Every structure is written in structure tokens, then in C-alpha cells.
Amino acid sequence: MTSSPTFRIAHIDTGQNLRGGQRQMLMLARGLRDRGHEQIIVSAEGSRVEDRARQEGFRIFSLPQSDPGHALGILLWRQQLRSWRPHILHAHDGRGQTLAGLASVGLPVKRVASRRVTFIPSALWTYRLKYSRTCHAVIAVSEYIRDLSVQAGVPPERITVIPDGIAIPPELPGAVERSDLRSSWGCGESDLLIGFLGASTPEKGLDVAVAAIGLLAEKLPRAKLILAGGEKAQELPGSEKSRMRILNLGPLEDLGRFMPGLDLFIMPSRAEGLGSSALWAMAYGLPVIATRVGGLSEIIVGNETGWLIPPGSPQALAEAISQTSADRSRLTEFGRRGRRRAEGFSADIMVSRTEALYRRIVGGAIAKPI
């Protein structure tokens, strides 16, 4: 599918690892490439983002590793911007937006900034400057992030809500696939396998998940916590008793080697801009127990596609797991409903909405910043 006219778009993300935001940038870039747009991906030299973008055949520009302050990188990138003349400069992280603003001062390019994290600096003037005066549009991944941004001083008319997208599996996993995957983990059909996907950073609530599994030792002796996305050798929190009921798969590229083996997915976050891991789980037909924080309540419909609980409470999580797992047919039905809801967050929808925003700002609908 090719749209007309096409744009030249420079994406920037300065992260070293390949986490949710970086994956979303690459997903967007793939979708835009399929629609005929020219793109370049700007990333830190030696980062996993750079490596993946190169593997996927994208044109790349690397910010020199020997330049921690990025002064040289800004200068070199500005030279390239002047010659390539992109229509859109899209920053996918906070530092990237700072670099984009500095590298493109005075150049005829429209600047877009994506916001998906809940962090807002105590010095609000820096936030207002970055997202009000140095970009033409701000993409918030949820209404929650939009509201935070408005409270921090970003003009509401400059913000567009575009939730993160996911690739919807064409069909739900079959019984053989499920059984083979569980067997590879040393688990049987009678085990209750609970999935957790993400880093071990405090806001993700891994400590809450581990503690909840410990509380369920007597009531649900066959319940096990399956971790993915973090480091394989990471030291897990909690007691030895809790850790004995945990399998850590480590970094994972293919969710098809994780989600189909699960019965239930949990997301006990303390903070979450949207919660795309929950969307991935729903796309695979899994019911979700998540905390009532950030954008998660915009994804999960309580008592229909999953359950929402208070944050920071292992007891509340353990009780929710115990109550919901008592009826396996209910888990299956909630999973089906969740998949239908996840279809409204497809990657194609996200790409279409972003492309529409590009067209709007290139058309001059939003006032030019300094």
C-alpha cells in the first residue's frame, strides 16, 4: 500500500537497549516503509536499536559512541539534515527530542515527539520548553499521558493521542503448540502458568509478582511464574520459597515462544504510560490481571477482558490470581474478549494515525515553533 505524497522521515531514539519504545519506533518505521515513505533511523552507535535497524535494511545514522555529550553528533547530524532535507523529524525518547531540537534549529522540518513514559521533571519549565516550543506536535500513547502533559504545561491542541500498536497473530495458538511449549519449560497441562513480560525495574512491579507467587504456595501449589524480557542472570527478589516457583526465560525476541504457553498474564506495574505488554497478551488470547495505573485502565475492561487491582499489593495480586484461576473456562472467555479488544490497537491502525498526523502538520495545521 503506497500513499501519495510520500515523506522523508528521520526517526531518533537514543536508548541502548531494545525495549518497548524502541520496538514501537521500528514497528512504525516498517509500516511507513510499506507505504513508500523514505526514512532514516538515528541511534546511538553500538546500541541494539542500531543493530536491529541495520539488520532490517533501514538507512541509519549513528551518534558517535566517543561523544557522550553528543556535540559532535549534533553537528554531523545537522549537516545530514541540511542535505537530505526531511519533512518530519520524529523523536521517540526525551533525549532524542533534545538532540532533534538542537540539530534542526532554523531548518524547514516539522518536529514530532512521542511521549510514553510517566516521568516529568520537577523543573517544569524544561518540559514546557521541550514539548511546547521545540516541536510541532506531541504524540501521547494514552489519555493518561496526554493529561500529564497538559498538567505540565503543554498546550492541549499540540497533543494527539495515538496508542502503541501491536502485531495481531493471525490466529490463536493451538493445543499442540501450547503443550509443546509448556513441555519445553518442564511444565504440564495441570500447572497454572502465569506470565510476566518486562524489565526488572521498580516501576514494573516484579517484586510484587514474586511475592504474590510466594503467598500462593499452599492454595495454588501448581502455580508458576514465567518471566521473559529481563536479564537471564538477574537476581530475583523475594524468598527462596518464592523463587523456586519461577522460571526466567531471559531476553525474548519472539513472543510466539512465550505467550502461547501461558494461562494468565499479569502486569503489576507501579507506573505505566500505556502498557503494551498487556495488549500483546490480549492479542494472544490471554486474560490479564493488571494494576489500575496509567494507561492500563484504557486497555483492560474490568471483569470483561481482565481484572484491575491496586498497585504495590502482593496480597491483592495473589487474591486475584486465586479467584480468577478457579474457573478455567472463564479465563478462556476473557481471553477471547481481550483478543477482540486488542484488534483495535493493531500496528496498522497506529501507523495510519501517525501518517495522518504527519500530513496534518506538514500541511501547516499547527503553528510553527521557534
pLDDT tens for 101-144 read: 999 999 999 999 999 989 887 888 888 888 888 899 999 999 99
Q: Is pLDDT of 90 > 80?
A: yes
For a pLDDT cut of 90, what percent of the chain falls above it?
81
Q: How many CB atoms lie within 10 A of CB 79?
A: 11
Residue type, 311: P
157-177: b or e for each residue (b if 16 or more CB lie within 10 Å)? ebbbbbbbbbebbeeebeeee
For 149-165, what is the mean pLDDT?
A: 95
For 271-276, what is the mean pLDDT?
A: 95
For 230-256, what is the mean pLDDT?
A: 79
Q: Given this model, what pLDDT does residue 257 score? A: 94
CA 135 from chain centre, in angstroms, equals 22
Q: Given this model, what pLDDT does residue 368 score? A: 47
Q: Is pLDDT of 1 > 50?
A: no
- Residues in CB range of 155: below 8 A, 6 or more apart: 132
Judged by DSSP in three states, 196 sits in: strand
Q: Is pLDDT of 365 > 50?
A: no
Which CA distances in Å does 28 have to 31, 157, 167, 291?
5, 23, 11, 27
Query: In 179-272, which ranges are E strands?
Result: 192-197, 223-228, 246-248, 264-267
CA 221 from chain centre, in angstroms, equals 32
State how far the Cα of 311 lies from the Cα of 118, in Å rounded to an integer.
Answer: 15
Any idea which residue has 495510519 for its cell?
352
| Number of residues that make up the chain | 370
Are 117 and 273 in contact by the 8 Å Cβ rule? The answer is yes
According to CATH, the topology of domain 8-165+347-362 is Rossmann fold (3.40.50)
For a pLDDT cut of 70, what percent of the chain falls above it?
95
Q: Given this model, what pLDDT does residue 241 score? A: 62
For 325-353, what is the mean pLDDT?
A: 96
Domain with CATH 3.40.50.2000 in the chain: 8-165+347-362, 175-345
For 77-92, what is the mean pLDDT?
A: 96
Q: Is pLDDT of 338 > 70?
A: yes
For 323-351, what is the mean pLDDT?
A: 96
Q: Which is nearest to 47 in space by CA: 92, 73, 16?
A: 16
**Whole-model pTM?**
0.91
State how far the Cα of 127 lies from the Cα of 176, in Å rounded to an integer.
Answer: 51
Q: Given this model, what pLDDT does residue 4 score? A: 59
Q: How many CB atoms lie within 10 A of CB 368?
A: 9
Q: Given this model, what pLDDT does residue 67 score? A: 82
Q: Given this model, what pLDDT does residue 238 score? A: 65
Q: Which CATH class is domain 175-345?
A: alpha beta
Q: Is pLDDT of 160 > 80?
A: yes
115: left (phi over 0), alpha (psi -120 to 50) or beta: beta
Q: Given this model, what pLDDT does residue 321 score? A: 98
State how far the Cα of 291 lies from the Cα of 307, in Å rounded to an integer.
Answer: 8
State how far the Cα of 59 lies from the Cα of 10, in Å rounded to an integer.
Answer: 10
Q: At what angle do helices 94-103 and 71-84 cross, to 10 degrees?
A: 60
Q: Is pLDDT of 280 > 50?
A: yes
Q: Which is nearest to 44 in space by CA: 61, 30, 31?
A: 61
109-138: b or e for each residue (b if 16 or more CB lie within 10 Å)? bbbbbbbbbbebeeeeeebeebbbebbbbb
**What would the pLDDT profile of 56-84 be if each residue is shown by its tens digit?**
999 999 999 888 788 999 999 999 999 99
Q: Given this model, what pLDDT does residue 200 score? A: 82
* Average confidence score pLDDT of the chain: 92
